[in-house]
Amino acid sequence: MNIENPMVLNNWHDKATEPETKKDFFGDEVTSADNYVIDSGEMILQDNLKRYLKEQLGFRFHSAQ
């Protein structure tokens, strides 16, 4: 008789021992290599900063040309 552990069969992971993945305002994963800013406690990746400024704070960007 061969009994399989259901945790192994279902690719189960112990959430208590896995590190929590940090997410920015838009839900993108933040790694230790990423640059980010914090606004009122919200983490925003530098790549998402222009989008955040436009959508959340109403910034408008213009060119001097």
For the domain that residue 54 is a member of, what is the CATH number?
Answer: 3.30.40.30
Read off the pLDDT of each residue in 16-42 and give the average, rounded to a whole number. Answer: 89
14 lies in some domain: no
- Specify the range with the lowest mean pLDDT, choosing from 13-17, 47-51, 60-64: 13-17
CA dihedral 26, 39, 37, 28 (to 10 degrees): -10
Position 1 confidence tier, pLDDT thresholds 50, 70, 90: low
pLDDT band at 20 (very low <50, low <70, confident <90, very high): confident
For residue 42, tell me if it sits in a domain: yes
Q: The domain containing residue 50 runs over which residues?
A: 20-60
- High-pLDDT (> 90) share of the chain, %: 65
